[in-house]
Amino acid sequence: MSKLNVLAALPETVILAAACLVLVADLYVPERRRNLSYSMSLTALAAAALCCWNLLQAQLVQYAFGGMFVTDPMAQVLKLFALLATGFALVYAQSYARARAMWRGELFSLALFTLLGVMTMISANNLLVIYLGLELQSLALYALVALQRDQPRAGEAAMKYFVLGALASGFLLYGMSMLYGATGTLDINEIAHRISASQVANRPALVLATVFLVAGIGFKLGAAPFHMWVPDVYHGAPTPVTLLIASAPKMAAFAVAFRLLVEGLTPVADDWHLMLLLLALTSLAVGNLTAVAQSNLKRMLGYSTIGQMGFMLLAMQSGVAGGTTASAASAYGAAMFYVITYALATLVAFGTMLLLSRQGFEAEEISDLRGLFRHRPWYAFVMALAMFSLAGVPPTAGFYAKVVVLQSLLADNSALPVVWIAVIAVLFTLVGAFYYIRVVKVMYFDPPGPDQPLDVPADMRIALTANGLAVIVLGVLPQYLLALCSSAMLRTLGG
């Protein structure tokens, strides 16, 4: 029982219990009292966040379930923001889901099961646990994408997501099986130990396993050339589900990349860090150049996600060449800071789209935002903050996130031409600034359409305001979150 250590997985236990309780309770809740399931979900998220915060304060690295599950500072920080992102997604979904008969227990329970998969992946210390969390998250998301069964576009998006998600899972599973064959263990720490001790006789199998793992991670991040599912799923899924896909699962994909590549395969970093660099540069090019041609806001944000993940991968690949634990922690901390600030800005963008949507109208074309400043100046300002943050315009959080990634890249003392790589990244960022600022131009300078009344719940207005202000506050005062990410990485890496 001492090896079980179930308290280390207390946040996951809370979410699992809440998902099951909501699923059962919704059978007995009448339509007029549907807010009970919503309140139960938010209460569970708050309770799990409190558990994560208490575990983070302990600053301990604990193992549970026979070493298959690890709770460390990095995991707790990512879980806290995954919980926050899911909470914002549920709050923002209210008006949209009510108007489209989606405000049911399935929405809440599937969102909680998705979050459970995310949290399981973040704390996985075993190849099978990673795959268990991945499938739990993926299956729940497939169902969420198809939740509007009477919408052909949603069904098409769900089918594409299912087929390509199965392909990505196959890549990961095949890579894991080859890694197990090469090392003889499923434990990530033991894999690193055996590779370091030269106990791996079949080196080609190890390299091939690394290739498949990087490809699977690229699929889950939405990095090019494994990006083909991103714009179609973002466009076809109901907007609250798109918001969910674009936020918390990206943190899980980052955590899986860290667990597999950094904690498990650092001894073969020379093989995979160049793969990450290739993925990063390809993603920056494909994402930013293709987004320029989009008129649909959801597709534009889908392509921009590809470019954003490319920027994050630049920090991931630069961490392996620093030479010290402190420099590696700084690089991986920059990558974690980047994915968190990206998620916060994306929440604001999709939250504003949900706020403006109403019965029979999807606010998903860029032209749908024209003249928003005249009718809704505060929400236009909040949306502008999100666009400026994604573009990397000071003083938003996205600007500082890009700065710390470039700093970690330039601190890379490997033989790579890091200055030219940084220049390429900045040039593609300038390309990206065009389509983000175009949205601001449409909101502030285009002639407005007819004003439509909005029935916005108070908690949605408060959450969107707080979310938008967080984007600017973290840009003006980034040192606290950046220090939290760096110290969490340092403790996780054993520094």
CA distance linking residue 168 with residue 213, whole number of Å: 9
pLDDT for res 1:
45
CA distance linking residue 100 with residue 84, whole number of Å: 24
Half-sphere exposure of 472 (CA within 13 A, CB side): 10
φ, ψ (nearest 5 deg) of residue 64: -140, 165
Alpha helices in 358-447 (DSSP H): 372-375, 377-391, 397-410, 418-445
CA distance linking residue 446 with residue 368, whole number of Å: 11
DSSP string, 449-487: ---------HHHHHHHHHHHHHHHHHHHSTHHHHHHHHH
pLDDT for res 3:
62
CA distance linking residue 71 with residue 52, whole number of Å: 9
Q: Which residues of 433-467 are buried (b: 16+ CB within 10 A; e: fewer)?
A: bebbebbbebbbebeeeeeeeeebeeebeebbeeb
pLDDT for res 329:
84
CA distance linking residue 25 with residue 35, whole number of Å: 12
pLDDT for res 325:
59
φ, ψ (nearest 5 deg) of residue 124: -70, 135
pLDDT for res 211:
93
Task: Give one word for 59, left, alpha or beta, with left for phi > 0 and alpha for psi -120 to 50.
Answer: left
Classify 70 as helix, strand or coil.
strand
Tell me the whole-structure pTM to 2 decimals: 0.95
Classify 382 as helix, strand or coil.
helix
Q: Do the beta carbons of residue 277 and residue 317 sit within 8 Å?
A: yes
Q: How is residue 118 written in tokens?
A: 């995310």
pLDDT per 10-residue tile (average), the chain, 495 residues:
75 95 87 83 96 89 90 94 96 89 89 97 95 95 90 90 92 94 92 85 86 93 90 93 94 94 87 90 94 93 94 86 67 93 95 86 87 90 95 93 91 78 93 94 87 80 94 93 92 77
